[in-house]
Amino acid sequence: MKKPKTNDVILQTVTNVVTFIIVLFSLSLFFAGHYTPGGGFIGGLMTSAAIVLMLLAYDLDTVANILPIDYKILTAVGLLIAVATGAGALLFDVPFLTHAYDYFYLPLLGKTSLHTAVLFDTGVYLVVIGVTMTIIQTIGVSE
Amino acid sequence: MTEIIRFLIGFLLIVGGFLSLVTAFGLLRLPDVYTRNHAASKSATLGVMSILLATFLYFYLEHGHFNSRLILAIIFIFVTAPVAGHLIARAAYHSGVKLWDKSVQDDLKNKKEYEQQNSN
């Protein structure tokens, strides 16, 4: 079936600009999650919202070309990271999912507190993106 | 100094609230989709932007807290709200919503015939 010719210049141009703002905001929400509202869940939803906006402006094949990601594998990797963060606590002879933090002196950032909960949050982030995009793409391609 | 700032913040808040009210009245009273869309996308955008600017000024000048998310939100709304209005109006036109009976001109009406003439 031939695709109907549409004229989506305005939508596509604005999508090109706005997607960067949304992705930056989602990363900001993700990294700010420890001290301010935000975190892995809402950051992941926001990132998938940016991808959904690209899906609205372009079509499935174009977005699959731009982001060649298999979202089911992304979900699996996220779960693996979350479980591995929990299991890593067992190596130090503390209960499962015990988190630790310390202050580090990084070259550019100076004194930074790094927490292993961020690794767990990365798992949540990837799982949320993977599940949301899998649901939306599965609904999108069914005839 | 602070009194002037407070006056400015209050003024922006009142303007924002007034413009939002204008949007609501426009949505209720205007005759067809396109004029309603005109009211909704313009005055609501400016109203929300004024309120966000007032919020930003309040937290920056009264509390010394520079909230860059509000700046980002102002830019974001300024970029996206007119596009949303454009897409709604376009979808309405292409699905055949009639203009108000007192409209005098519809330049897009003859577009299909014109394109067919030029392609043949």
Cα separation of A127 and A79, whole Å? 6
Please judge whether B79 and A25 are an interchain contact, meaning their C-beta atoms are less than 8 angstroms apart. no
Predicted local distance difference test score (pLDDT) of residue A130? 95
Cα separation of B72 and B55, whole Å? 13
- For the stretch B19-48, pLDDT in tens is 999 999 999 999 999 999 999 999 999 999
- Name the residue of chain B whose CA is nearest to A12's CA: B83
| Chain B residues in contact with chain A using a Cβ-Cβ cutoff of 8 Å | 69, 72, 75-76, 79-80, 83, 86-87
Q: Which of A6, A9, A14, A20 to mutate to test the interface with B (most CBs of B within 10 A)?
A: A14
Position B10 pLDDT exceeds 60: yes
Cα separation of B40 and B84, whole Å? 10
- For the stretch B45-103, pLDDT in tens is 999 999 999 999 999 998 899 999 999 999 999 999 999 999 999 999 888 888 888 87
Residue type, B73: A
Please judge whether A21 and B83 are an interchain contact, meaning their C-beta atoms are less than 8 angstroms apart. no
* Backbone angle region of A110, left / alpha / beta, with phi > 0 → left and psi within -120 to 50 → alpha: left
Predicted local distance difference test score (pLDDT) of residue A1? 40
Instruction: Sort out which chain A residues have CB atoms less than 8 A from B79's CB and list them.
Output: 14, 17-18
* pTM, entire model: 0.84
Predicted local distance difference test score (pLDDT) of residue A143? 63
* Cβ-based contacts under 8 A for chains A and B: 18
Confidence of residue B116 (pLDDT cuts 50, 70, 90): confident
Mean pLDDT of successive 10-residue stretches along chain A, which has 143 residues: 67 93 93 88 94 91 89 94 89 85 79 84 94 92 71
